[in-house]
Amino acid sequence: MPSALITGAGGGIGSAIATALAPTHTLLLAGRPSARLDALAETLGATTWPLDLTDPGEIESAVELVDELDVLVHNAGVMVPGPVGESYIEEWRATFEVNVFGAVALTLALLPALRQAHGQVVFINSGAGQRVSSGMASYSASKFALRAFADSLRNDEPALRVTTVYPGRVDTDMQHDLVAYEGGQYDPARFLRPETVAEVVAAAVATPAQAHLHEVVVRPR
> Is 139 noted as a catalytic residue in this protein?
yes
Where does the pLDDT of residue 27 fall: very low under 50, low under 70, confident under 90, or very high at 90 and above? very high
Active-site position among 139, 166, 181, 186:
139
CATH of the domain at 214: 3.40.50.720
Rounded Cα distance, 87 and 16, in Å? 32
The number of domains in the chain is 1
Listed in sequence order, the residues at least 6 apart from 85 whose beta carbon sits closer than 8 Å to its beta carbon are: none
Query: For residue 184, is pLDDT > 80?
Result: no
Put simply, whether the predicted model's pTM sits higher than 0.75 gets the answer yes
The 10s digit of each residue's pLDDT in 113-155 is: 999 999 999 999 999 899 998 888 999 999 999 999 999 999 9
Q: Is the model more confident about 128 or about 216? A: 216
| Per-residue pLDDT at 177 | 74
The 10s digit of each residue's pLDDT in 153-162 is: 999 999 999 9
Mean pLDDT of the chain: 92
Structural domain range at position 190 = 3-218
Query: For residue 174, is pLDDT > 70?
Result: yes
**R_g of the chain computed on alpha carbons:** 17
Query: For residue 45, is pLDDT > 90?
Result: yes
Number of CB atoms found within 10 A of residue 216's CB: 17
